Structure 1
């Protein structure tokens, strides 16, 4: 059970006594529980973080699919303490599903973009 997703820890002679009176071994099995928010790859930890469009434009410019890498901030490496894997944060930007005409114009004014009409017929 040396997989990073399942590890066994044994405490020798710390369990219940056997029939002959000798204490048995106490064994714990630790498993990684799946999550929608993060994924473990070996000792590295990958986190999916959804941020608002406002956060993406104001905290720091973040494009959909951007990521940050934090070396040594992942999961502890088994039998190699204090070494740790890396942490990777993948950003998804949540865009608004609807903007009023006034809000659309405010965004255009703020970002310096003029409205370009969408052609209704294909050019020949």
Structure 2
């Protein structure tokens, strides 16, 4: 992976859910104490790549999908599909994921399960 010249560590890797690549989602690396904002990026076909400040981080992984047959029709004439978060809370709002970001390149594999 090529550096963008910022000097920040490169973080990349794979995210699977129940053994299959997470098709479309987001990953965020946050300081555990919430001292500074985190760095986030897109997950596509189970792959992610971004730059993150070094140190201990909590990882939040999210992905949303349409709920079949459910729509928000609160605006007259509009039928907007309702989306649901399908990655369990233990990987995002109540994350149990933590990693230490070192200088240079970092590669991680997150194997998530949909079990509660």
Query: Which category describes the TM-score, using the shorter chain as reference length?
Result: under 0.3
TM-score of the superposed pair, with normalisation by structure 2: 0.25
Q: Greater strand percent: which structure?
A: 2
Q: Greater helix percent: which structure?
A: 1
Larger radius of gyration: 1
TM-score of the superposed pair, with normalisation by structure 1: 0.24
